[in-house]
Amino acid sequence: MKINKTIWLAPALFILMQAAQAQDTLRYTGRSLVNADYHNGQLVPAVGVHNVQTFRANREHPELAGGLNWTYNHAPMLAYWNNTFYLEYLSDPVGEHIPPSRTLLQTSKDGYNWSKPAIIFPPYKIPDGWVKKDYPGVAKDLYATMHQRVGFYVSKADRFFALAYYGIAMDKKDDPNDGKGIGRVIREIKKDGSYGPIYFLRPNSSWDMKHAVYPFYTTSKDKGFVAACNEILNSPLMMQQMVEEADRNDPLIPLNRPVKAFSYYHLPNGKVVGLWKHALTSVSPDGGKTWNYTPLRAPGVVNSNAKIWGQRTSDGRFAIVYNPSEFRWPLAVSTSDDGLDYKDLLLVNGEISQMRYGGNYKSYGPQYIRGILEGNGQPDKQNMWLTYSMNKEDIWVAKVPVPVTSKVSGSADEDFNALPDGQELKLWNTFSPLWASVKIEKAPDGTKALTLSDQDPYDFAKAERVIPAARKVKVEFTVIPAQNNTGSLQVEFQDAKGTAAARLIFDADGELSAKVGYRNSGIMKYEAGKTYQIRIELDMNKRMYNIFINGESKGTRLMFAPVASFERVVFRTGDVRRFPDVETPTDQDYDLKDPGTPVKQAVYFIKSLKTTAF
């Protein structure tokens, strides 16, 4: 029998082509996977990550939210220029794609303390009678819906610009980024904090410019401004970010396919790695002009319809940050030595604040992650700065130390007053809402302390310290509760995945107790303003722990859950959250009770922490 060599060679060549392509494809080869039944996915944390809320939505009391009362806030973008952080995000009154829409801007010098939001791109009125091709309805008292995938640009002349996009959604189910909107706009942000006029950078071809509220950029008499706009339009990587909103046949967009939320970074050899939603990826050999293959799912990378961010980090390695599940939680980081092979998966934020206001297409979780785009500044070489929205409602930033690691070199031994200013929380992971903050502040005795302050009816402050793994560990900490008639401080001793074996509780009734199962076991009454030196000797071999307070034994308690080892000490001003979970309905159509009013404040000063394996 004669064998057709051409037929025989075809599948072999195909396999070889696939293998060669795989060598140039981003992939995850690590073993860590997410269990989305837990908000933290049961991931090990990246050490030293600080999560800081910059904006808390408030419909009832806009005076507590910079004078703003719109509760849909999403799609943040981040840049660093003129020694200042700039944070841009969309805002709608209630839900996604329901106008009016505007874009807000916040600034910060340190990444922790943020300005009140300013309206940098205001609502845009669509002329009555406007119709959208192939979609029913006629515009009447309709405003544009904002939608953008790119927020900032620093020009070659070091001028700084904000960008945004006005789309048209005829109703709440219409798509404002279908290429049939109004167009992309741009304005300069100046070093003195003022703004230049708004111009259209690239209107959609379906839009009639005789209705334009803003002029086309070429009409500007500022030659430097026009040159910067041309730089953007001539940059394949800038234009690729605009594919969703642009004309479907826009000749300036190299890869004109229905792929979403493009991010990218350069490899040392000059090639560009591209990332899109659903963990799609490709590689460009020529700065984004062409792509080696149609974007395909990065092998091993789990990501659904949420953004994924990639960048080269200051240590010469690479990081991708995303929601590694079919849900928009947790938020995690994976690192790579070469920008293609990713081998670990560590937690950035494993908390889901309660969604206080229901709305159209509002998804639970920390999502739509973005970092600082290449060319848009670098605050420092010690950290990677990120931004995301929580529940499409509140805006957050995260500072992730570089190099990214899950390990600490030794036991905790921290007297906060003795540590250098600004370095006290270097090895701590924090979750710090505006109304439930985690800061270093002065204790009543005038010394520096890790201070958890909580007046949020639906959120909490959390600070956790990773420690070396041990089955037997002594934990010593000093705490001053500022009150004993409100609030709650819970101190947990957890394994690497966040499972608690033991918990102490300073409750609102002035009782210090321990969780021992279904019920709590009372330890003692505590007083407001008094200093408590607490020592806990945990022995997992016996599943017991001894409690000492101010040198006095308070007995032995049984751990309420077994763990393989102790690897975290956690201080939290509220109960563990289980909602939402993987069975929770997608859309929340209700508001929580009185979410815009703070409750009576509770403050706890933690002066020191020391751990010792024995």
For position 23, what pLDDT does the model report? 57
**Which residue among 401, 425, 460 closes a domain?**
401
- Is 428 contained in some domain? yes
Among 354, 375, 401, which residue terminates a domain?
401
Residue 581 and residue 561 share a domain? yes
Final residue before a domain boundary, out of 345, 370, 401? 401
* Shared-domain flag, residues 388 and 424: no
What is this structure's pTM?
0.95
Query: Degrees (nearest 5) of the Cα angle 552, 557, 560?
Result: 145
Contacts by 126-130, CB closer than 8 A, 24 or more apart: 126/168, 126/182, 127/211, 130/168, 130/211
Domain of 88, CATH number, reads 2.120.10.10
Residue 139 is predicted with a pLDDT of 96
What domain range includes position 286? 52-401
Q: What is the pLDDT of residue 10?
A: 45
- pLDDT-derived band at 586 (thresholds 50, 70, 90) equals confident
Residue 408 lies in a domain: no
Query: In the numeric block, which tokens belong to residue 318?
Result: 């690479």
The average confidence (pLDDT) of the chain is 95
Q: What is the mean pLDDT of residues 148-168?
A: 97
* Within-domain flag for 27: no
Do 394 and 418 belong to one domain? Answer: no
Question: Which residues make Cβ contacts (< 8 Å) with residue 384, sequence separation at least 6?
Answer: 311, 313, 314, 319, 371, 399, 400, 401, 402, 404
In 3D space, the residue among 317, 515, 325, 351 whose CA is nearest the CA of residue 429 turns out to be 351
Structure tokens at 218: 């070429």
What is the Cα–Cα distance from 503 to 557, expressed in whole angstroms?
A: 10
Total structural domains within the chain: 2
> Above 80 in pLDDT, residue 12?
no
Residues 211, 326 share a domain:
yes
**pLDDT per residue as tens digits for the range 359-378:** 999 999 999 999 999 999 99
pLDDT of residue 17: 43
Query: 488 and 418 in one domain?
Result: yes
Tens of pLDDT, residues 278-323: 999 999 999 999 999 999 999 999 999 999 999 999 999 999 999 9
On the question of pLDDT at 209 being above 60, the answer is yes
Which string of b and e fits 48-78 if b means at least 16 CB within 10 Å? bbbbbbbbbbbbeeeebbbebbbbbbbbbbb
Give yes or no: residues 100 and 232 share one domain. Answer: yes
pLDDT for 7 equals 44
CA 215 to chain centre: 35
Residues 149 and 173 in one domain: yes
pLDDT confidence band for 24 (50 / 70 / 90): confident
Average pLDDT over residues 392-405: 98
397 shares its domain with 418: no
Does residue 468 sit within a domain? yes
Per-residue pLDDT for 244 more than 80? yes
Q: What percent of the chain has pLDDT over 90?
A: 95
Q: For residue 487, is it within any domain?
A: yes
- Side-chain-facing half-sphere of 256: CA atoms under 13 Å: 11
Residue at 24 is within a domain: no
Residue 187 lies in a domain: yes
Tell me if 553 sits within 8 A of 536, measured CB to CB.
no
- In the chain, % of residues over pLDDT 70: 96
CATH number for the domain harbouring residue 438: 2.60.120.560
| Residue 388, pLDDT score | 98
Residues 361 and 417 in one domain: no
Q: What is the pLDDT of residues 61-96, one digit of tens each?
A: 999 999 999 999 999 999 999 999 999 999 999 999
Residues 155 and 248 in one domain: yes
Is 528 domain-assigned?
yes
Phi and psi torsions of 266, nearest 5°: -95, 140
**Sign of the CA dihedral with 328 first, then 329, 331, and 332 last:** negative
Mean pLDDT of 132-144: 95
Distance CA 131, CA 138 (A): 5
In this structure, are 397 and 419 located in the same domain? no
pLDDT bin (cut points 50, 70, 90) of residue 241 is very high
Same domain, 392 and 501: no
Amino acid at the residue 543 = R
